[in-house]
Amino acid sequence: MPRAIWTGSISFGLVNVPVRMYSAIDERDVRFHLLHEKDDSRIGYDKVCKKEGKPVPDDEIVKGYEVSEGKYVYLTDEDLEAAAGESYRSIDIQDFVDADEVDPIYFERTSYLGPAEGAEKPYALLVRAMEESGLVGIVTYVMRDKQQLGCVRVRDGMIVLEKMFFADEIRPTKGIRPRKATVPKQELAMALDLIDRFRGPFEPEKYEDTYREALLEVIDRKRRGEDVHAEAEPERGEEPADLLEALRESVEAHGRRGRASRRRNGSLGDLSRDELERRARKAGIRGRSKMSKRQLATALERA
C-alpha cells in the first residue's frame, strides 16, 4: 500500500472532499555516492554550527526569520500552521478552465490524490463531474511553508494534482527570443511534409531511458574489471548545402505516409471543441472528456 505524503481535502464552494496525496513519480535515476578514494568512505553532509564549528543535533535546530541583522524570530510548526489558517490542510479550487488553456511550462510535479477513508462518494462525484465537464481545476494550497499553485485533473478515474509555478516564476523570453525571419513557402511545405511523416499516436511505453541502460552496462563492465572507452563517433555524411536540400533529404529518408490524413484531421481541427465532443459521443469514442481538441480530431479521424 503506497504511503500518503499529505492528508487534507479538496474544497470548492461548500463541497469538501477529504483526500490523501501520494507521489505519482518514481524516478529511476542512477545515483552516485561521493567517496574518499583511499578508503571508500562516503563523503557525508553535516549540519555544522558556523560559530562553534561543531555538528548540531536535529533537536537543537530551529527555524528562524531574520528581522534585523543578527536578530531572529523563532518559528515552530504550530506557528506555520497558524499562518496558513484554514488552507493548511485544504486544496482550494479557485477556477475551472479548459485544459488546453494551461501552458505545460507551468507544470512542475505530479501527485495522485486518493480519497480518504469514508470519502469515496464525494470523491467519485467530483471525478464524474470533472470528466463530464472536460475542465480542470486551478487550485491553491499550502505545503512546505509556502503557498502553492496547482491544477487538478482526472486521469484513469483518479484526481491528479499538478504542482505549478506561479506566473512570476516563469522567466521572460526577452533576450533569447529569435528575431523574425522570413520562411519561404517551399521550405514550409517541405517541413510540414516531414512532420507528417513522423506523426503518430502518443505511446509513452515506446520511449525508454537508453542512457540509463547504457550507464548500468558500463557500471557492470567496470565491476567485472573491464576497461571502458568511449566509442568514436561515426563519420557523418556530407552536410546538405542548404536548408531546403536538408529538408528534401530528410523527407526522402522517411517513409511516405501521405498528406491526406493531415488534410482530413485539419478540417476536423477547425471545428469547436463542443462539436468535436458531440461527434465523438455519436461515434462512441471513450475517454473523450479527457481529450484535447487535437486528440478528439485524431480519434475521430481513426474512427
Query: What is the domain partition of the chain in residue ranges?
Result: 6-26+81-169
Question: CA-CA distance, 115 to 122, in Å (whole number)?
Answer: 9
Task: Grade residue 193 by pLDDT with cuts at 50, 70 and 90.
Answer: confident
Distance CA 187, CA 263 (A): 18
* Contact status, residue 75 vs residue 65, Cβ threshold 8 Å: yes
Q: Say what percent of the chain tops pLDDT 70.
A: 88
Which fold, 6-26+81-169?
Ku70; Chain: A; Domain 2 (2.40.290)
Whether the pLDDT of residue 189 is over 90: the answer is: no
Q: Are 287 and 296 in contact (CB under 8 A)?
A: no
**Are 280 and 300 a contacting pair, CB within 8 Å?**
yes
**Helix (H) / strand (E) containing 139:** strand 135-143
pLDDT band per the 50, 70, 90 thresholds, residue 228: confident
What does pTM read for this prediction? 0.65
Task: Look at 240 and 218; give whichever has higher pLDDT.
Answer: 218
- How does strand 6-12 pair with strand 90-98? parallel
User: In 70-184, where does DSSP find H-type helix?
Assistant: 77-84, 120-133
Q: What's the pLDDT at 114?
A: 95
Residue 115 CB neighbours (<10 A): 20
Angle between helices 185-198 and 260-269 in degrees, nearest 10: 90
Q: pLDDT at residue 259 above 50?
A: no
